[in-house]
Structure 1
Amino acid sequence: MSTLIGIRDAAASSDVNGGLYSPAKEKAAIRGAYSSRSPLLLRRARQLLSATKVKVLLGLCTLFIVVMVNSKLSSLMGWNPHYPSSVSSPSRGGYTVLINTWKRNSLLKQSVAHYASCSGTDAIHVVWSETDPPPETLKAYLKKVVFSKSQAAHKPNFRFDINQEDNLNNRFRPIEELRTDAIFSIDDDVIVPCATLNFAFTVWQSAPFTMVGFVPRTHRLDRAKNGDAYYKYGGWWSVWWIGTYSMVLSKAAFFHRKYLEIYTHKMPSSIHEYVSRERNCEDIAMSLLVANATSAPPIWVKGKIYEIGSSGISSLKGHSDARNKCLNDFISLYGTMPLVSTNAKAVDARHEWFW
């Protein structure tokens, strides 16, 4: 017989034998019976809740690890040309993408398709310096690609800027009817993800008269040449080793549209002739021009970019010596060293593991 039944039987017996039963006494007795079980029930409830919390926390941790691993694997596997940008269209009119190309139509198609999909792209201009004009089939194809890939209601303008001669100075010729102040200069074999590109644009907006880019380079003073000041050009490993830079290359960089005018019409013609003759160093010339105009360093934006072509000119033998010569020859023409070194870089904290 259970305790509860015993209490009820005793109460009934008392009622019969002496009228001692009362509802209040019965309720008190029932509460006493359940109170003897309450510690055990509470312990079991707490155990269940604790187990549930542990499972939820384990599930959340597992989900976080899976998401982070997938993110890292995606970046290791390379650029996904169909990954849409989640960044809203930047303000102040967006930017004009200026693509320099040379007999690599397959890469040009990929590049145009990608930058057409970026929300901040207002226009795409292709610098064409080949002997023959671009085929009509290529023009029609790229216009169709720009229209179909753009995610905005306002479709980017697209056109070829055709030049009569093959000359590296062509990539910095002024462009008529531009609607943006921001120029994003890019080689046809370099892909910058849209979110990274739009972040760099916001950085450029904070300092619109300097260069903002993804490929840093440096210089250092070396007085070993007959006691005269002599500068050495430093590539990526030099930047990594010393932690400073003084240039960002125009193969992937923002700058103000006014520098197209200054480069073409106000920079010493001897530098134009040098670039044309050597077929090299137009990017160093632009870095010197902007530094000379601003007396300020460029801004390096940390972000992963993808080179979709074969190895470029930097892999050729003698490249370092040629860049050293360019740098010193240009400095002699300027009569001063305008480059300013810095160790600052812009980082999108949303994509970092730690704040």
Structure 2
Amino acid sequence: MVVIIRDRLEDNSYDALYSPAKEKAANRGPYNPRSHLFLRRLRLSTCTSKVRLISAFSLLCVLLFISSRLSSWMGWEPYPPDSSRGNYTVLINTWKRNSLLKQSVAHYASCRGTNAIRVVWSEVDPPSDSLQASLENIVLSKSNKAHIPNCSFNLNDENTLNNRFKPILDLQTDAIFSVDDDVIVPCLTLDFAFTVWQTAPSTMVGFVPRMHWLLKGKNGVSYYKYGGWWSVWWTGTYSMVLTKAAFFHRKYLDLYTHGMPSSIHDYVTKERNCEDIAMSLLVANATDATPIWVKGKIYEIGSTGISGLQGHSYKRNKCLNDFVSLYGTMPLVSSNLKAVDARHGWFW
């Protein structure tokens, strides 16, 4: 019996010792240690290259971030406003929003370029003593101790948007920064825009661009269409910067009040709208030049104003065409230029 079992094992020895891995190895041919070493080195070098590439990219990102923040970390101020280069008056238009007014005054009092803050007040009742005292304390606490800007009210008997462009007798600066009480422009961005305005003080320099378009109606009569932000974003073309956040020369306060047709004043008062379009037309008519759009983030801290009301676009279109009729010509000049602070951009 033992012999028979041994014979059977010998007969089936091939099947008992069969291995798919061995057969696969046999088909590949004899083992070559050099080829395996080469493949191992190749895989190792590939992994090392990936690591080096990732490390280099990470280092580049770090260097770019450091270079973009270096000026603020080191305390450098490439364009610090001082008495030799001048500064600006912040002209804030407000209407029954004292909480927003306080926030706005607190912010602009902290900007080094602010020489004075003037609040356009058109309400029936004058500002309360508590409000005036509150604003004075805010200015003292928020301003740069080297210079404390004066904060005062421009009181008006009539409630009209024309009040925001009335002449101011005791101004100490040529530059006026006109801003709504619910708009905040960061100080460094504001100072950069001021340096841009200094290169072209006769024009307007601002952060909110708009455009006019000449279209032809169904009756064949041409008319102008007021182009909002999306129109500017899509085409890269603008012809106005709105006075909700813009620099202009103090001389335009006198020109708006005394040199512009009274019919436009009456129109603005009646419609309670479009004083910013009127100012854009006035400056363009006086200079034959384009405004300058400055790239920069601005923040609206209040609820939606009249721009969010129904029929706003229709009113702006009507204002634009009515004003052009009163002028007898279209003075606006379009532009595709944008002022950009190159120090804060990664790529030229």
TM-score, normalised to structure 2, is 0.79
Residue in structure 1 matched with residue 89 of structure 2 by the alignment = 96
Confirm or deny that 1:245 pairs with 2:216.
Answer: no
Which 5+ residue runs of structure 2 have no aligned equivalent? 1-51
Residue in structure 2 matched with residue 176 of structure 1 by the alignment = 169
Superposition deviation, residue 151 in structure 1: 1.1
Residue in structure 2 matched with residue 269 of structure 1 by the alignment = 262
Aligned residues: CA RMSD: 2.6
Alignment partners' CA distance in 2, 1:170 and 1:281: 13
CA contact (8 A) 1:174 1:261 kept: yes
The residue correspondences of 1:200-349 to structure 2 (distance < 5 A) are 200-224=193-217, 226-349=219-342
Give the secondary structure class of the aligned counterpart of 1:122: strand
In structure 2, which of residues 190, 205, 210 is the aligned counterpart of residue 197 of structure 1? 190
Specify whether residues 141 and 229 from structure 1 end up closer, same or farther in structure 2 by C-alpha distance, changes over 3 A only: same
What letter is aligned with 2:295?
Answer: K
Question: How many residue pairs end up in the alignment?
Answer: 291
Residue in structure 1 matched with residue 3 of structure 2 by the alignment = none
Specify whether residues 331 and 113 from structure 1 end up closer, same or farther in structure 2 by C-alpha distance, changes over 3 A only: same
Specify whether residues 252 and 58 from structure 1 end up closer, same or farther in structure 2 by C-alpha distance, changes over 3 A only: closer
What letter is aligned with 1:191?
Answer: I
Alignment partners' CA distance in 2, 1:145 and 1:240: 37
Residue in structure 2 matched with residue 109 of structure 1 by the alignment = 102
CA contact (8 A) 1:85 1:119 kept: no
What letter is aligned with 1:311?
Answer: T
Specify whether residues 108 and 85 from structure 1 end up closer, same or farther in structure 2 by C-alpha distance, changes over 3 A only: farther
Give the secondary structure class of the aligned counterpart of 2:115: strand
CA contact (8 A) 2:68 2:346 kept: no
**Cα deviation code 1:18-57 (max 9, x no counterpart):** xxxxxxxxxxxxxxxxxxxxxxxxxxxxxxxxxxx99x97
Superposition deviation, residue 352 in structure 1: 0.9
Residue in structure 2 matched with residue 81 of structure 1 by the alignment = none
Alignment partners' CA distance in 2, 1:295 and 1:287: 11
Residue in structure 1 matched with residue 35 of structure 2 by the alignment = none
Specify whether residues 220 and 59 from structure 1 end up closer, same or farther in structure 2 by C-alpha distance, changes over 3 A only: closer
Specify whether residues 221 and 61 from structure 1 end up closer, same or farther in structure 2 by C-alpha distance, changes over 3 A only: closer
Alignment partners' CA distance in 1, 2:142 and 2:182: 18
Alignment partners' CA distance in 1, 2:236 and 2:135: 41
Specify whether residues 288 and 323 from structure 1 end up closer, same or farther in structure 2 by C-alpha distance, changes over 3 A only: same
Give the secondary structure class of the aligned counterpart of 1:146: helix
Specify whether residues 277 and 85 from structure 1 end up closer, same or farther in structure 2 by C-alpha distance, changes over 3 A only: farther
CA contact (8 A) 2:117 2:149 kept: yes
CA contact (8 A) 1:95 1:120 kept: yes
Which 5+ residue runs of structure 1 have no aligned equivalent? 1-52, 72-83
CA contact (8 A) 2:68 2:344 kept: no
CA contact (8 A) 1:288 1:339 kept: yes
Alignment partners' CA distance in 2, 1:70 and 1:268: 49
CA contact (8 A) 1:300 1:346 kept: yes
Superposition deviation, residue 144 in structure 1: 1.5
Specify whether residues 62 and 324 from structure 1 end up closer, same or farther in structure 2 by C-alpha distance, changes over 3 A only: closer
Give the secondary structure class of the aligned counterpart of 2:217: strand
- Range 311-320 or range 186-195, more displaced: 311-320
Superposition deviation, residue 58 in structure 1: 8.9
Specify whether residues 283 and 58 from structure 1 end up closer, same or farther in structure 2 by C-alpha distance, changes over 3 A only: closer
Specify whether residues 152 and 207 from structure 1 end up closer, same or farther in structure 2 by C-alpha distance, changes over 3 A only: farther
Confirm or deny that 1:167 pairs with 2:178.
Answer: no
Confirm or deny that 1:353 pairs with 2:346.
Answer: yes
Give the secondary structure class of the aligned counterpart of 1:184: strand
